[in-house]
């Protein structure tokens, strides 16, 4: 199992979760990642989609809410990187959640690290947010 690493994207240092790291199944699991992020002094955590339990993408389970709330409580931003198109196609509620999240600054869903870097660059420059990837559009 590889470890989470620090990465710099558009001048922002973030904790990037290892793809084969422990699965995030709820708020308690998120606390471990949050502790590592705070230990490194970063305010952005980047998690690959595969680190999130499938229940995260079924909003009625409450997993997404519990995880996101932990990040909000600790004033950390979260970026989920990877293809979630299949999940979004099966759930109007999730699609709406992703669209709203991507309009804000607390939680973003992006397809690639390059897309995340461009979004960070655009936000730092005060421009309009970058449209989310094709798997995340309405």
pLDDT digits (tens, 9 = 90+) for 10-68: 999 999 999 999 999 999 999 999 999 999 999 999 999 999 999 999 999 999 999 99
* Options 3.30.750, 1.10.155, 3.30.450, 3.40.50; CATH of 5-126: 3.30.750
Q: Which two tokens stand for residue 63?
A: 């997993």
| Residue 13 to residue 23: CA distance in whole angstroms | 23
Q: Is the pLDDT of residue 137 over 90?
A: no
* pTM for this model (two decimals): 0.87
- Report the SS3 class of residue 87: helix
């Amino acid at each position: 199992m590889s470890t989470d690493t620090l990465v710099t994207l558009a001048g922002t240092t973030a904790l990037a979760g290892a793809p084969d790291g422990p699965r995030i199944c709820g708020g308690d699991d998120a606390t471990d990642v949050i502790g590592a992020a705070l230990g490194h002094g970063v305010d952005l955590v980047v998690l690959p989609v595969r680190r999130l339990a499938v229940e995260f993408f079924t909003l009625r389970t409450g997993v997404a809410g519990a995880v996101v709330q932990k990040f909000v409580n600790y004033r950390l931003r979260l970026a989920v990187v990877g293809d979630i198109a299949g999940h979004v196609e099966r759930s109007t509620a999730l699609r709406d959640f992703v669209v709203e999240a991507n309009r804000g600054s607390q939680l973003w869903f992006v397809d690639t690290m390059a897309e995340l870097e461009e979004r960070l660059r655009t936000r730092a420059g005060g421009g309009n947010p970058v449209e989310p990837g094709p798997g995340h559009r309405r």
